[in-house]
Structures are given as structure tokens and as C-alpha cells.
Chains A and B, each alone.
Chain A
Amino acid sequence: MPDYTNTSEPVIQVRSVIKSFGDQRVLDGIDLDVMPGEIMVVMGGSGCGKSTLLRHMIGSIVPDSGSVKLFGREITTLSEQEMNEIRKKFGILFQSGALINSLTVGENVALPLREHTHLDEKTIEIMIKIKLELVSLRIHADKMPAQLSGGMKKRAGLARAIALDPQILFYDEPSAGLDPVTSAQIDQLIIDLTRKLHVTSVVVTHEMDSAFSIADRMCMLDKGKVLKIGMRQEFETLRDTPAENLTSDQDKLIRQFLRGDADGPLSRRKADSDYEEDLLRV
């Protein structure tokens, strides 16, 4: 079980992170703690900044201001070399799997092992088999990525992400574009890896079914701000409360998102624009 005692330090600590691209503010003061061994699901609509937040946590984007700590170390000021040492301790599953297309599936998984460890080739070969078996792709080790389906690519990407036995795993939209069965398999893998190997997981998603089936805690983003962080149960309660019983607009908005309702404050926000004026202007 995740460690929520007061004594344990968060593995990931994001503090008042602000990031703008051009004049568009994508992240507007984000605070987020991820505790050891938990599955934190970050959700929100498209363009809410969740992917950008993920890229801050993996150190591929540096914030305009604010702090990001991994394993208690500030990563926003690290040099490329220092960052690389941290990178070896976490894994990322990219949306498309992001396999290197010129290498076979097995070589992709072996890549971090061959580049970053001094393990014997024989050991690496066995490790590849073990990792690929974990994602049920062992028999496809010699295939090129182009020969795989989207779901298989994602699973291969996961096998590569766990190659170095990372302590944190980041997932960027793990179930996007997958059929329900594959999506459920990936969810189960996330749970297994987290529970059995004590990996800390951060999942960025907008698929609510998947989010509710894996999350320990959830964080909802909207327009670059955190709307709510809480235990999964709190979000479930919010989702299942009738809209009339909710007083705050914010809760209504979260509820609509969680339920995927067509009608609610989210849609009204879009409709409120100057449609009529725009149409009738001469």
C-alpha cells in the first residue's frame, strides 16, 4: 500500500510551477506531491496542461518559475549529465510507445541495459525475455516496431520503460487509442508493477474508466491550475452525487468531467463565447 504517513517524503514534489509558451500560460502555479508507492492519476481535458506537467516532472521542460523535486532533488537546475543520472531511476511510457523504429522490439528493451549498465550480454538477454513476458510480447522480440499494432507498441514501450527497474514510472495516456481489453491489461500491469514492485506511478489520462480502476489518488487539472487533489474515493463520491446537491461550480465542473456528461458547466463555458455576435456581425 502507498505510504501516506507523515514521516515519508514525497518522491515527486511540484511547487508553484508556472510555464508559458509564447503568451499562453499552460501551467499556472501547480502544486503536487506524489508519495512513494502510490498511483497518482493526473486528469483533465485536452489542453489543460497535464502533458506539460508530465514533461516537467521528467525534466524535459524547465519551468519559467517554481520547483520540481524528484527523490528530494531539485531537477530544474540540474545539468544534462546530472539529469541523466536521475533519468536512469525512472521510466516513461510514451503515448505512442516511442520505440526506436530501426531496432527490433528486443533491442529496444535492451537499449537502456546495454547503454547504462555493465551487465553481461547473457544476463541482458534473459532480462529482455523476462520484461517482454511481463507485457506478453516475448514471442515478438525479433519483430520490428513497424510490424506491431498500436497496443503492442505501447506494451513494448512499457517493457523498455521498466528495463532498468525504475523507482518511478510515468505513463502518458496509457489507454489512449487502445481497445478495451488491451487497455484493461495495461491498467492491470500498472497496478501489478506498483503494488508488487513498489514502483511509484504517475498516470496522465483523460479516460475515466481507466483512471478510476487504477488510481490511489487523483488530481484534476483545468486551464493550467489544480482544481482538486484527493483520494480516489472522494472523486467517486463527487461523481456519484446528483448535480443538484453540489453547491460549488468547481465541484459541478469536476463532476461533469468525471461522468463525461455532455451537459454541464464545462459545455456552458464553451457555449458562452460570442457565437451570436460573431454570426450576426456585418
Chain B
Amino acid sequence: MADAGGNIQNIIKDITREGDVVIVKLTGEIDMHSSTELRGCLLEITQERPRLLVINMEEVLFLDSSGLAVFVETMQQSRTQGRQLKLVGLHPRVRSIFEISRLMDIFQIYDTQEEALA
């Protein structure tokens, strides 16, 4: 996880904007390398101050604690702005890292994107 080098793949699959809602679709593994990139992207988006930021994680198979920290920081941002952040489609393995870190109650987590947008 922390090994140097490694192929830096793009973990941000696409970003769609529907009015004041931004949906970020992620893919692959979020580890100590890719989380820096993720952080840059998410902080940029929160600067736009969207009413609702939905992070779709259906294709994220692995998340480490640095990725977790990035989500927490994004959450701090949207909270201070009075905006909303929703996470969608956590894989069981990803969900368990949220659980063990006792972060399930801090985030709004939905099974599908439709539910999050409803």
C-alpha cells in the first residue's frame, strides 16, 4: 500500500454537474498515492460550493485510511459551508474501514445514486 512508485492511475472516473449538484465518480484503489490526487480534486470542487456533493464509490474496491482522511476533510469543508456531502455504494471492504474507524455516523451513506439524489 505504501510502496513507492506504482502506476498512478486516474481514480477520478468522471465529474458531472447538474445544477448545484456535483457527482464525482471514483474508480480503482484509493491508497496513500492516489489520495493526494483525490484530495486536490475534492477540495477544488468544494470551492465551487455545490449544494450537494455526491461521491459515487461503486467502483472503489479498496480504500485506506489516507483516503478516509480525505473524505473527512471534504466533510469538514462542506459542513462549514453548510453544504451536503453524500457517499454512495460502498463495497463491504470499504464499508468496514468506515465502520472500524467509527465514521458511519459522520457521513451520509447511500446504497444507490438515486437514493442520494432523492
Contacts and interface: CB of A to CB of B under 8 A. Distances in A.
**Chain A in direct contact with chain B (Cβ < 8 angstroms):** yes
Nearest to A117: B32
B36 A116 contact: no
Given A88-B3, A119-B35, A122-B73, A131 B65 contact: yes
Interface string A150-188: 000000000000001111000000000000000000000
The B contact surface, by secondary structure, is helix
A127 interface: yes
A133 B65 CA distance: 13
Contact of B102 (A118, A123, A133): A133
Given A117-B32, A196-B99, A196-B100, A165 B3 contact: no
Interface in B18-42: 31-32, 35-36, 39
B118 interface: no
B66 A117 contact: yes
Contacts of A134: 100-101
A130 B102 CA distance: 9
A192 interface: yes
- Size category, B interface: 20 to 34
Contacts of A133: 101-102
A165 B2 contact: yes
Most buried by B among A116, A117, A119, A127: A127
Nearest to A123: B69
Contacts of A78: none
A89 B68 contact: no
Interface of B: 1-4, 31-32, 35-36, 39, 64-66, 68-70, 72-73, 93, 96-97, 99-103
29 contacts: A85-B3, A89-B1, A116-B2, A117-B66, A119-B32, A119-B66, A120-B39, A122-B73, A123-B35, A123-B36, A123-B39, A123-B66, A123-B69, A123-B70, A126-B69, A126-B72, A126-B73, A127-B65, A127-B66, A127-B68, A130-B69, A134-B101, A164-B2, A166-B1, A192-B100, A196-B96, A196-B99, A197-B97, A198-B93
Given A126-B73, A165-B31, A197-B96, 7 more contacts: A89-B1, A89-B3, A127-B65, A130-B69, A164-B32, A165-B2, A197-B97
